[in-house]
Homo-oligomer: A and B are copies of this chain.
Amino acid sequence: MRKLKNSELNRLSVEEFKQETKIPLIVILDNIRSLNNVGSVFRTSDAFLIEKIYLCGITATPPNKEIHKTALGSTESVAWEYAEDVVSLIKRLKDSKIKVVAIEQTENSVMLQGFKVLKNEKIAIIFGNEVKGVQQTAVNLCDATIEIPQFGTKHSLNISVSVGVVLWDLFKKMKLG
């Protein structure tokens, strides 16, 4: 089982990435404090062909040396935009027929494994602050909330990890059937 060299992985150039068909999935980061988390989300979104990242509220934007340390160039490939107010953004996306879903533990959460993706729908998923999660005012406007089932002692996963888990799960449902 010989390990492959990076050159054998046939990754895309930034220009090829921009031309590539994306999965119909948008990531919204609202009030994310950690620059490491922001960079890591770019890197994961590059791997799974995410359409766009919206950075909201206090979330820092590229170019930024600390974001670059974990994004490693993926801020050049993945499309992104700063939108100060997440509530206005949610309304705007819903007006464009995009389903908006918060990753949050609520009374009505759907467990991630049970969340179904419909054909031809585009979904925007919101990840909130490291401590406070997604704001209740934003949750109130969402079409659904998804919960990552967790069975241990801690209340939540790290944001970068949550994004990895959710993007992989939805990528599989959208692209791999």
Q: Please report the C-alpha to C-alpha distance between residue A176 and residue B154 in the assembled complex, in whole angstroms.
A: 20
Kindly state the separation between the CA atoms of A20 and B153 in the bound complex, as whole angstroms. Answer: 11
Does A9 belong to the interface (CB within 8 Å)?
yes
**CA distance in complex: A165, B164 (Å):** 6
A48 CB within 8 Å of chain B: yes
A115 close to B (CB within 8 Å): no
Which residues on the B side are within 8 Å of A125 (C-beta)?
none
For window 74-122 of A, CB contacts with B under 8 Å fall at 74, 76-78, 104-109, 112-113
| Interchain CB contact under 8 A, A154 and B43 | yes
Judging by beta carbons under 8 Å apart, are A3 and B104 in contact? yes
Task: Tell me if B164 and A12 are in contact (CB < 8 A).
Answer: no
Knowing A49-B152, A150-B47, A152-B11, the reply to whether A40 touches B1 (Cβ < 8 A) is no
Besides A3-B136, A3-B139, A76-B153, 12 other A-B contacts (C-beta < 8 A): A2-B107, A3-B105, A3-B106, A9-B150, A43-B161, A44-B157, A47-B152, A70-B158, A74-B152, A148-B168, A165-B165, A168-B169
